Amino acid sequence: MAAKIAEEIHGPLCDLYHYKPDTKVSLIFQDTDDIANAASYFQSNKIKFWVTSMNWDFRGTHNWLRNVVTHEYTHMIQLGASRKWTRRIPAFYAQVIGYENERRPDVLYGYPNTLISWPLPSVTVPGWFAEGTAQFQFTGSGYDFWDSHRDMLLRQATLSNRLLSFNDMAYFGKTSLESEGVYNQGFSLTKYIAKRAGGPDALAEITRQLSTPYPISMDDAIRKATGKRGVEWYDEWKTWLEDRYGGLKNQLQPYLTKADTLENTGFVNLFPRLSPDGRKVAFISNQNRDYFGQSSLYLHDFDKDEVEILVGGANGALTWLPDGSGVIFSRRAPNSSGSLVHDLFLYKLEDKKTIRLSKGLRSESVDISTDGKRLVFTMNNAGKREIGIAAMPDCSAKKVEMITPEDIIYRHPSLPQEQYYIPRWSPDGGKIAVAHH
């Protein structure tokens, strides 16, 4: 399927950027870890994919396989088109080294006192333009688009004066939220320039300017391609965002209701679940951390009005035991091969003890039936998330018998690339509600 997609998009992308790889592009897929990612090695004409579909709370729902193949193949073509020389020469370095005049018979040179190094890489595409074009793709692709999640993040960054500067958009090395800004702002600014400077051909011309053999800044490449400097486009786009979102805010302000914020520490606070008695809420958060993946299981006690961390390395949708004595959650743990896959764990509040409930299940979301006898969970496998049901292990035993894939008593039939998320039992245990794509 991936090869079919690549064949379909190869022509339109090559025509847009007037570039074709000099060899066949290799698509490499692996399903060893619960990782949703891909990387385009454009200097080697290879693209590596992890087949797990992306369940990323910063983005909306898209056709994962078509989107990720097109995204990475756009990188392959656009970055290849921006290359200054052959892919066998990734960079040049010009260096000048100076030495002190003092010499000794047993020393060939004086002590080095000067070092000037001037690198000239073959590719000088900033992060925002690389990711902006990879999300823009080509006219008619439709595999990636501006969704409500992206708009929310860009809107909040604009209204709170937290937009990345033109220079800061060029690189990652930030928090997960700020790095997502490179994608969002890059996508929005790329679309803005394309719409007002002649369409996708303007993006191709900027890419061509970057491929000239002599050094050129992105600011100047955009000027030569469009007649306006990159920073001028940025300032114009920023003003447009402020006017647009500011106007919407003014229209909605009289009708907005302000709610009490339970937790405002951390930029990821997800999957809140009230305890059976309604006096506590468990949730996943990355409080005091820089990255999305550094999330932990937290507990907010309404009576004490206090928040405490229960256990680190937790993620995914969680569930309470029916008697409120513990919380079942998911975390990525190494399997026998060293790969990181999701499994289920139970945190017991009284004992402050974590018990592993599954092994090799690759489950990211879980819910327990009201009688406490059955678990429903998602299972990651071969690029799709399936729904499974298994008996709840006896956690009072000295040695808990962990759930394995062989212990599943029901597995819902699914199609290739079909995705299920966040299953929930009905109160009577007779039905399951689930998000589906």
Contact 133, 79 (CB under 8 A): no
What pLDDT does residue 57 have? 84
CB 322 within 8 A of CB 276: yes
Closest CA to 66 of 357, 380, 416: 416
Region 250-266: mean pLDDT is 85
279 and 167 belong to one structural domain: no
Q: Which residue has the higher pLDDT, 314 or 256?
A: 314
Q: What would the two tokens of residue 115 be?
A: 């070092």
The predicted structure's pLDDT at residue 259: 80
Q: What pLDDT does 60 receive?
A: 85
Q: Are 24 and 154 in a shared domain?
A: yes
Q: Is there a single domain that holds both residue 347 and residue 405?
A: yes
Q: 220 lies in a domain?
A: yes
pLDDT given for residue 169 in this prediction: 97
Do residues 123 and 84 touch, judged by C-beta distance below 8 A?
yes
Tens of pLDDT, residues 341-374: 999 999 999 999 999 999 989 999 999 999 999 9
Q: Which residue has the higher pLDDT, 42 or 418?
A: 42
Tell me the residue range of the domain where 428 lies: 269-436
* Same domain assignment for residues 291 and 334: yes
Question: CATH number for the domain including 66?
Answer: 1.10.390
Q: Please check whether residues 278 and 361 belong to one and the same domain.
A: yes
pLDDT digits (tens, 9 = 90+) for 399-417: 888 999 899 999 988 887 7
Judgement on whether residues 243 and 277 belong to the same structural domain of the protein: no
Q: Distances from the Cα of 148 to the Cαs of 57, 338, 360, in angstroms?
A: 11, 37, 34
Considering the domain architecture, whether residues 349 and 213 belong to the same structural domain is answered as no
Backbone angles phi, psi at 234, to 5 degrees: -60, -50
Domain boundary among 219, 248, 277: 248
Give yes or no: residues 287 and 363 share one domain.
yes
Tens digit of each residue's pLDDT (9 = 90 or more) over 303-349: 999 999 999 999 999 999 999 999 999 999 888 888 899 999 999 99
**Of residues 128, 210, 211, the one with CA closest to residue 170:** 128
Q: Is residue 253 part of a domain?
A: no
Kindly report, residue by residue over 48-93, the tens digit of the pLDDT: 999 888 888 888 888 888 999 999 999 999 999 999 999 999 998 8
Find out whether 52 and 382 touch, Cβ atoms under 8 Å.
no
Strand partners, 319: 328
Q: CA-CA distance, 145 to 155, in Å (whole number)?
A: 16
Task: Specify whether 312 is located in the same domain as 176.
Answer: no
Mean pLDDT of all residues in 210-224? 93
Q: What percent of the chain has pLDDT over 90?
A: 73
257 belongs to a structural domain: no
**Number of domains comprising the chain:** 2
Identify the CATH number of the domain in which residue 350 sits: 2.120.10.30
Grade residue 291 by pLDDT with cuts at 50, 70 and 90: confident
- The confidence band for 186, taking pLDDT boundaries of 50, 70 and 90, is very high
pLDDT of residue 109 exceeding 80, the answer is: no
Element (H, E) at 93: strand 91-99
Lowest mean pLDDT among 155-164, 258-267, 399-408: 258-267
Is 260 within a domain?
A: no
The token pair that represents 75 in the structure block? 């990188």
Element (H, E) at 248: helix 230-252
Closest to 74 measured CA to CA, from 124, 28, 10, 157: 10
C-alpha distances out from residue 334 to 20, 57, 212, 395, Å: 40, 24, 46, 22
Determine, yes or no, domain membership for 261: no
Q: What is the token pair recorded at 181?
A: 């800004």
| Residue where a domain stops, chosen among 248, 281, 308 | 248
Indicate if 173 and 274 belong to the same structural domain.
Answer: no
